[in-house]
């Protein structure tokens, strides 16, 4: 993977069209900004119950976006990341329809996980309570077969996302088909979506079990054999992330977004500095994604202390709600049709109260943290919350999933805060010091991060007491300085 900034985007929601239009943006107005692009689910259909994360056909590009040839064209100049939706498929898929029609006679019967597969004698209340799930209620959904028999299928997320039995021959064949297609189509990086839920065992949380770690490792090795790298997508307690990082190619630093917000809200980098001392180095860094702003990643777990304590987490969430003038409250938790109850749905720009200086400071800190940075399309363009789309769909995460067209993108690229962000992206992409050694010092409101190596040095200094931030670089005896406040003028 290139050590350059990557873009995260839906092909249709960013370009106003499909994959061809996305490619035009990447080679036109966005040329030179990104070493890679994570194209969010482009499989059929892109407008299911979970915005493409519930594929009816994982091996088919939605025709409204294009075809696999369009993916190959993008891959010729930009590393492509795609989602391998490991845990589930749509209840409307041909495979599950065959199961409903033919029951145990279906060739796909074993592909889908059922309660009886893990709990052959039935599940007890204690066993059910031990299962970790990102939404309230039972993790099983009753489905009636054509014969009249009713079966409890495992549905970790929604009742239309049927969990795959990845240990079955049919489940393994399904994943192998998609992996091979990715490799043949130029995909270089695979995001293993919800892989932590893939292996279930009785009397466990059924999340990140030892068997799940082994499965992720095996799947990653197979992807490596096909010339691809894998990223594990797991929201969890921070120590779990550190453990996961030692067993996979890369992980996401999901603790970073709330910790940067906490730092800016309180003018204190101490909690962030503590995390960066132990954070995985083989990570992708994000501030925003197609999901909400994760909270669980920085908070406590039961009696185990987090990077932030419960009171700090509560204050963080309330400050986001206040900065967004209550808009995030309308999109979070039980207020909308949310799959995830441990995330705050809000654009990162709105979470910071649309404060341009703090937003650029947040991005600068992200780019100087260990890992390969990703920038979500809404964050690239410093988008505000899309309350019209939220009201229309009543899907909480749609508040930060706007539909844009080329004219809207070009207008946003002209905003001073976006121009400043583009400068930071170009700096991060071109300074070879970021391939060197990382160092950090922190004294409350003062943060200094340096990278040094390959005859180059990059230094970020932030003083939140004075609201000042400066970047200095030197490379082959050529020095440059960037005052972040001046990037807005």
According to the model, what pLDDT value does residue 168 have? 97
Q: Does residue 403 share a domain with residue 454?
A: no
Q: From 142, 162, 182, give the residue that closes a domain.
A: 162
Which residues lie closer than 8 Å to 306 by C-beta, 6 or more apart?
237, 238, 298, 299, 300, 313
Q: Does residue 101 share a domain with residue 57?
A: no
Q: Does residue 484 share a domain with residue 423?
A: no
Active-site amino acid positions: 193, 233
The mean per-residue pLDDT over the stretch 137-155 comes to 96
The mean per-residue pLDDT over the stretch 40-55 comes to 90
CATH of the domain at 113: 3.90.400.10
* DSSP single-letter state for residue 105: G
Which residues, in sequence order, are bridge partners of residue 250?
231
Binding residues for sucrose: 88
Q: Could you read off the pLDDT of 180-198 as tens digits, one per residue?
A: 999 999 999 999 988 889 9
Number of domains in the chain: 3
Q: In what order do the strands lie in the sheet with 446-453?
A: 437-443, 446-453, 456-463, 468-475, 478-483
Does residue 1 lie within any of the structural domains? no
Q: Does residue 107 share a domain with residue 81?
A: no
CATH of the domain at 255: 3.20.20.80
Which residues, in sequence order, are bridge partners of residue 438?
451
Q: Could you read off the pLDDT of 437-476 as tens digits, one per residue?
A: 999 999 999 999 999 999 999 999 999 999 999 999 999 8
> What does the CA dihedral 389, 405, 409, 346 come to, rounded to 10 degrees?
10
Token digits of residue 170: 């049919």
According to the model, what pLDDT value does residue 339 have? 45
pLDDT interval class at 234 (50, 70, 90):
confident
The mean per-residue pLDDT over the stretch 199-213 comes to 92
Q: Could you read off the pLDDT of 77-114 as tens digits, one per residue?
A: 999 999 999 999 999 999 999 999 999 999 999 999 99
Q: Does residue 175 share a domain with residue 157?
A: no
CA angle (387, 66, 171) in 5-degree steps: 90
Q: From 419, 435, 451, give the residue that closes a domain.
A: 435
Judged against a pLDDT cut of 60, whether residue 253 lies above it is answered with: yes
The mean per-residue pLDDT over the stretch 273-290 comes to 96
CATH of the domain at 445: 2.20.220
Does residue 107 lie within any of the structural domains? yes
According to the model, what pLDDT value does residue 435 have? 96
The mean per-residue pLDDT over the stretch 268-284 comes to 96
Token digits of residue 334: 């039980």
Q: At what angle do helices 310-323 and 256-266 cross, to 10 degrees?
A: 80
According to the model, what pLDDT value does residue 244 have? 83
Q: How far is CA 332 from CA 235, 290, 299, 346, 433, in A?
A: 17, 14, 17, 8, 40
According to the model, what pLDDT value does residue 341 have? 53
Q: Does residue 463 share a domain with residue 423?
A: no
The mean per-residue pLDDT over the stretch 195-206 comes to 94
Token digits of residue 159: 């009742």
CA atoms of 229 and 188, how far apart (whole Å): 6
According to the model, what pLDDT value does residue 338 have? 47
Closest by CA position to 109, among listed 175, 55, 61, 162: 162
Q: Does residue 320 share a domain with residue 352?
A: yes
Q: Could you read off the pLDDT of 357-404 as tens digits, one per residue?
A: 999 999 999 999 999 999 999 999 999 999 999 999 998 999 999 999
Element (H, E) at 419: helix 416-430
Judged against a pLDDT cut of 70, whether residue 305 lies above it is answered with: yes
Does residue 447 lie within any of the structural domains? yes
Q: Does residue 110 share a domain with residue 37?
A: no
Count of residues making up the chain: 489
C-beta of residue 189 within 8 angstroms of C-beta of residue 231: yes
Token digits of residue 105: 């006679």
Looking at per-residue confidence, does 137 or 279 come out higher?
279
Q: From 394, 411, 435, give the residue that closes a domain.
A: 435
Phi-psi group of 382: left, alpha or beta (phi > 0 → left; psi -120 to 50 → alpha; rest → beta): left
Q: Does residue 182 share a domain with residue 149?
A: no
DSSP-assigned letters across all residues of 222-269: HHHHTT-EEEEE----HHHHHHHHTTSSEEEETTHHHHHHHHHHHT--
Any idea which of 34-43, 134-143, 417-426, 464-473 has the lowest mean pLDDT?
Answer: 134-143
Token digits of residue 242: 């550190």
Q: Does residue 469 share a domain with residue 396?
A: no
Token digits of residue 86: 């490991």
Judged against a pLDDT cut of 90, whether residue 489 lies above it is answered with: no
According to the model, what pLDDT value does residue 432 have? 94
pLDDT interval class at 136 (50, 70, 90):
confident
Q: Could you read off the pLDDT of 417-443 as tens digits, one per residue?
A: 999 999 999 999 999 999 999 999 999
CA atoms of 307 and 299, how far apart (whole Å): 6
According to the model, what pLDDT value does residue 240 have? 85
Q: Does residue 186 share a domain with residue 115?
A: no
According to the model, what pLDDT value does residue 25 have? 96
According to the model, what pLDDT value does residue 335 have? 62
Strands 140-144 and 36-39: unpaired
CA atoms of 110 and 168, how far apart (whole Å): 6
Q: What is the residue range of 106's domain?
A: 94-162
CA angle (35, 287, 56) in 5-degree steps: 75
According to the model, what pLDDT value does residue 483 have? 97
pLDDT interval class at 248 (50, 70, 90):
confident
Q: Does residue 441 share a domain with residue 430?
A: no
According to the model, what pLDDT value does residue 134 have? 77
C-beta of residue 62 within 8 angstroms of C-beta of residue 184: no
C-beta of residue 164 within 8 angstroms of C-beta of residue 99: no
Closest by CA position to 345, among listed 378, 380, 301: 378
Closest by CA position to 211, among listed 178, 172, 250, 167: 167
Burial of 240 (0-12, 13-18, 19+ CB in 10 A): middle
Element (H, E) at 184: helix 169-184
Binding residues for substrate: 50, 191-193, 233, 290-291, 340-343, 397
Q: 10 Å Cβ neighbour count for 413?
A: 16
Strands 140-144 and 57-61: unpaired
First to last CA, the chain: 34
Does residue 130 lie within any of the structural domains? yes
């Amino acid at each position: 993977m290139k050590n350059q900034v990557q873009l995260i985007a839906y092909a249709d929601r960013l370009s106003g069209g499909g994959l061809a239009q996305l490619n035009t943006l990447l080679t036109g107005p966005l040329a030179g900004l990104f070493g890679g692009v994570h194209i969010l689910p482009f499989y059929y259909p892109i407008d299911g119950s979970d915005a493409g994360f519930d594929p009816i056909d994982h091996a088919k590009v939605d025709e409204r976006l294009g075809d696999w040839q369009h993916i190959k064209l993008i891959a010729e100049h930009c590393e492509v990341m795609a989602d391998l939706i490991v845990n589930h498929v749509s209840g409307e898929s041909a495979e599950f329809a065959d199961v409903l029609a033919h029951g145990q006679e279906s060739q796909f019967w074993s592909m889908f996980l059922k309660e009886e597969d893990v709990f052959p004698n039935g599940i007890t209340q204690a066993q059910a309570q031990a299962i970790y799930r990102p939404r309230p209620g039972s993790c099983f959904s009753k489905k009636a077969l054509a014969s009249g028999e009713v079966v409890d299928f495992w549905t970790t997320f929604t009742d239309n996302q049927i969990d795959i039995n990845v240990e079955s021959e049919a489940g393994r064949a399904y994943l192998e088909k998609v992996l091979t297609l990715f490799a043949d189509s130029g995909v270089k990086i695979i995001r293993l979506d919800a892989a932590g839920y893939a292996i279930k065992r009785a009397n466990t949380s059924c999340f990140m079990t030892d068997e799940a770690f082994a499965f992720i490792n095996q799947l990653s090795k197979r992807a490596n054999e096909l010339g691809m790298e894998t990223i594990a997508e797991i929201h969890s307690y921070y120590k779990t992330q550190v453990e996961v990082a030692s067993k996979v190619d890369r992980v996401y630093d999901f603790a970073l977004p709330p910790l940067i917000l906490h730092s800016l809200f309180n003018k204190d980098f101490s909690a962030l500095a503590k995390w960066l001392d132990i954070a995985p180095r083989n990570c992708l860094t994000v501030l925003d994604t197609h999901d909400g702003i994760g909270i669980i990643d920085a908070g406590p777990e039961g009696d185990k202390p987090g990077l932030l304590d419960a009171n700090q987490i509560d204050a963080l969430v309330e400050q986001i709600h206040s900065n967004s003038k209550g808009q995030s409250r309308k999109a979070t938790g039980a207020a909308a049709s949310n799959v995830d109850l441990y995330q705050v749905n809000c654009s990162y720009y709105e979470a910071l109260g649309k404060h341009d200086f703090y937003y650029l400071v947040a991005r600068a800190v992200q780019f100087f943290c260990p890992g390969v940075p990703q920038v979500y399309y809404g964050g690239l363009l410093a988008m505000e919350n899309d309350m019209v789309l939220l009201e229309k769909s009543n899907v909480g995460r749609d508040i930060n999933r706007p539909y844009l067209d080329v004219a809207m993108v070009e207008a946003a690229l002209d905003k001073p805060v976006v121009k400043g962000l583009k400068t930071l992206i170009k700096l991060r992409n071109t300074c070879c010091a970021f391939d060197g050694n990382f160092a950090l010092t922190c004294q409350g409101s003062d943060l200094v991060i340096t990278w040094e190596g390959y005859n180059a040095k990059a230094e970020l200094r932030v003083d939140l007491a004075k609201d000042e931030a400066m970047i200095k670089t030197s490379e082959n005896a050529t020095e440059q300085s960037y005052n972040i406040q001046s990037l807005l003028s």
